[in-house]
Amino acid sequence: MSSSISVTTWWLEQISPDDLKASAEPDPATAVRIVRAGVPSAEFSRFLYTAVGADCSWTDRLGWTYARWQEHLARPGTETWVAYEHGTPAGYIELDAQDEGQAEIGYFGLLPAFRGRGIGGHLLSYGTARAWDLAGRWPLRAPTKRVWVHTCSLDGPHALANYRRRGFRIFDTKVGDEESRTTDGPWPGA
């Protein structure tokens, strides 16, 4: 028997690079580095997706095949930026260049062990700046005119506030019922 839950979804945007309000960088002792994953890797991206999204009920990509992951990641203007703490993946932000100068933050988040330590604000600031300068790395893409993202009440409790602190403004909100869902995280039984 399935049950449903009420979910609020917010769509947010920035319409100028000047909208970005960068966060403070994390304590240097954490040795956080943010690096672009320059080689599309279905395995690595699926790991990040499941490790970050398991407790937020991210399920839309769980059924993707290896080929679908690779096809998605190889699209011009799709980028994955990964935050590492002392060499360990802490979280990621996935950017998706779209038509007419739109850039979507497709996914963003931290693995549970790295939350609440200032890494998320820094990663979101850095990733949003990379969304604004996508055309510099993808010359056939139009310059970014708008960066947008959506988040919902199933995401981490600080997600919406983090987006707003970084200068994103809500442009739409919807409330609806969704089937309750759970995931196993990066591996069955996690």
List average pLDDT for each run of 10 residues in the chain, which is 190 residues long. Answer: 81 98 88 95 96 87 94 96 96 96 96 92 97 94 96 88 97 86 51
**Residue 36, pLDDT score:** 98
Tell me if 189 is assigned to some domain.
no
**Residue 84, pLDDT score:** 97
**Residue 185, pLDDT score:** 53
**Residue 54, pLDDT score:** 86
Tell me if 124 is assigned to some domain.
yes
Tell me if 187 is assigned to some domain.
no
Tell me if 188 is assigned to some domain.
no
Q: Find the domain containing 115 and state its range.
A: 4-178
Total domain count, the chain: 1
Distance CA 116, CA 139 (A): 36
Tell me if 63 is assigned to some domain.
yes
Tell me if 121 is assigned to some domain.
yes
**Residue 58, pLDDT score:** 86
**Residue 4, pLDDT score:** 81
**Residue 3, pLDDT score:** 76
CATH of the domain at 100: 3.40.630.30
Tell me if 160 is assigned to some domain.
yes
Tell me if 16 is assigned to some domain.
yes
**Residue 189, pLDDT score:** 44
**Residue 138, pLDDT score:** 93
**Residue 19, pLDDT score:** 98
